A and B are shown apart, each in its own frame.
Chain A
């Protein structure tokens, strides 16, 4: 559902390790999902998307996994780099609507 006023959870990862960022979505009718990256002072930047007829999609260094049974989405970043430090949001869109609903977000910190 809509994000609430909670402090962002933080994931700290050593440079070079893999990162896994998780997201629970609320609407079983959602059929399209996007991961966005937001750096400080900037707008969200599209990373990767997936439709509900898929359970996995790979991009460059990123993989999105979708588990519709438990309404769970994850973003895997391989060989995490300092430039990956940002807040990551998942967004869902329900079938028949055009509105994207954003998750709470996770702050990724990459440790040198």
Chain B
């Protein structure tokens, strides 16, 4: 059972370009979280999604950032017109549907975005 898969592991974008980060959840997990981490800091919640539905996007910047989790395929975190301040590690986590006994979230290895 593969874990949470994120790609790419490293992404370099010039200012103004778009960044697309992909996340495939663990098998059987229907819920995905995206977190952002700056060096030497904790993880900050961005968005929580289930298939075809955004549950909680309270941590998402109002502009340039969007996320989706289509019926088929990975979850995508999209950052348009990137700026240097977007440089960070972006982590995806997945969990089973809530209500089950074990609902811990498992994390991928992250995508390290560098904006130059």
Contacts and interface: CB of A to CB of B under 8 A. Distances in A.
A87 B67 CA distance: 28
Contacts of B25: none
A44 B43 contact: yes
Interface residues of B, number: 29
A97 B56 CA distance: 9
A65 interface: no
Interface in B41-82: 41-45, 48, 55-56, 58-59
A99 B55 CA distance: 10
B42 A105 contact: yes
Contacts of A61: none
A2 B98 CA distance: 22
Interface of B: 4, 6, 31, 33, 35, 38, 40-45, 48, 55-56, 58-59, 91, 93, 95, 98, 103-110
